[in-house]
Amino acid sequence: MSISKLVFPPLSYTGWGSLQNLVPEIEKYQVKKILVVTDPVLAQIGLVDRVTEPLKENGYEVTLYTEVIPEPPLEVGEKLVSFTREGEFDMIVGVGGGSALDLAKLAAVMADHEGPAADYLNLSGTKKIEKKGLPKILIPTTSGTGSEVTNISVLSLETTKDVVTHDHLLADVAIVDPELTLSVPARVTAATGIDALTHAVEAYVSVNASLTTDGLALQAIRLISRSLRKAVEDGSDKQARIDMSNGSYIAGLAFFNAGVAGVHALAYPLGGQFHLAHGESNAVLLPYVMGYIRKSCQTRMANILNALGGNSDFLSDEEASYRCVEELERLVKDVGIPATLSEFNIPDSALESLTQDGAKQKRLLSRSPLPLEEKDIREIYKAAFK
């Protein structure tokens, strides 16, 4: 019998209108100076006011930081870390997609550490995180990354991505209010939605999957597959936004505990070298990676097919696993994401550098049910170029 270690953030609120819990939660902390970390788009469209206004009305001293950019480079993270250290804040509230949430939690922990954040990176860092840092509340405005419930902060480096990861990066409170996602444009809805789907699929076939993560992952796949197309087509579809928000949240809980694998390992270099959005990188690779590892997890892929709304009843596991890959391809296509790397204007001359960087992601690759070595990674990228 195997033993599963499961870690969940201490407190989450989910559901339409759950943002109303923000002020009552903050009141439980002895804080006065709050740093709200977001990106310029959310400031411009006024979405972040939904967070800052109630704080100001309740007498908190609020500083708004809006310099987060998508797929944040390490330097952008370092700048926020310096700003946080100088500002002597009591708490950080992150509001936004994964980019803003990742930097908010990084800054909260780094406030209590010395030296650049680069020293704490997983692949190239030399120092260990030891202290919890400032209390942090994370409020996602996309349905995708699950960053509000993971202990990971992803940073873009010159040619790939790396992470700072430690349980101290977990949110003290996550508030997952689907109402905040109504304004997400169709293209971002599609990319972030497939990102959440990828989390669930990779967690379900991970070598570290457990009974708990299986339940979360399959339910996330059901919610996402029934509502992603609708959310992309009509962003004001309330039920579709609720399903996507819940799906993304529980997919986050699943992958944080079971891990993601090959799709993410190969997606990171696409983000690093070609600045493809994280969700789009995952989306374009998902069918190719699942097609490649299919043989190692056919029964699980039959279960995924059923969760995607297909029916494996009269199929062998092998047949069902092929159908599963087709269903994934169809969903990616239906939400308007190109099916090949070439359609993203990535030149096939990049095959070797992508392969080299993908192979470095040993932490991610170790969760794949089919061990993926350099030659396998090259084959998958090759197929994705065609």
Enumerate binding residues for ligand NAD (CB under 6 A): 39, 41-42, 47, 70-71, 96-100, 102, 141-142, 144-147, 150, 152-154, 180-181, 183-184, 188, 192, 195, 278-279
Q: Give the closest residue to 134 by CA, choosing from 192, 185, 188, 173.
A: 173
What does the DSSP 8-state code read for residue 45? T
Report in angstroms how near the CB of residue 229 gets to ligand NAD at its nearest: 18
Helix (H, G, I), strand (E, B) or coil at 295: helix
User: Which tokens sit at 113?
Assistant: 């550490």
Smaller CB separation from ligand NAD, 17 or 309: 17
Closest approach of Cβ 264 to ligand NAD, in Å?
A: 8
**Least CB distance from residue 145 to ligand NAD, whole Å?**
4
CB 68 within 8 A of CB 80: yes
Relative to beta strand 152-156, strand 161-165 is antiparallel
Query: Given the complex with ligand NAD, which of 73 and 116 has the nearer CB atom?
Result: 73
Nearest to 13 by CA among 317, 249, 226, 366: 249
Query: Quick one: 259 or 310, whose CB is closer to ligand NAD?
Result: 259
Q: Which is nearer to ligand NAD, 193 or 291 (CB)?
A: 193
Whole-number minimum distance, CB 323 to ligand NAD, in Å?
27
Closest contact distance (angstroms) between CB of 50 and ligand NAD is 10
Question: Alpha helices, DSSP H only, in 182-340?
Answer: 186-205, 211-233, 238-258, 262-274, 278-293, 298-307, 317-334
Question: What φ, ψ does residue 279 adopt, rounded to 5°?
Answer: -65, -40
Residue 377 CB contacts under 8 Å (≥ 6 apart), including other chains: 265, 266, 355, 358, 359
Cβ atoms < 10 Å from Cβ of 375: 9
Q: CB of 12: closest distance to ligand NAD in angstroms? A: 15
For the CB of residue 92, give the shortest distance to ligand NAD in the complex, in Å: 15
Taking the least distance from each CB to ligand NAD, the nearer of 280 and 376 is: 280
How far, in Å, are 21, 70, 168, 227 from residue 230 at the CA level? 28, 25, 36, 5
> Toward ligand NAD, which CB reaches closer, 217 or 320?
217
Q: How many CA atoms lie within 13 A of 97 on its CB side?
A: 29
- Which residue's CB is nearer to ligand NAD, number 188 or number 301? 188
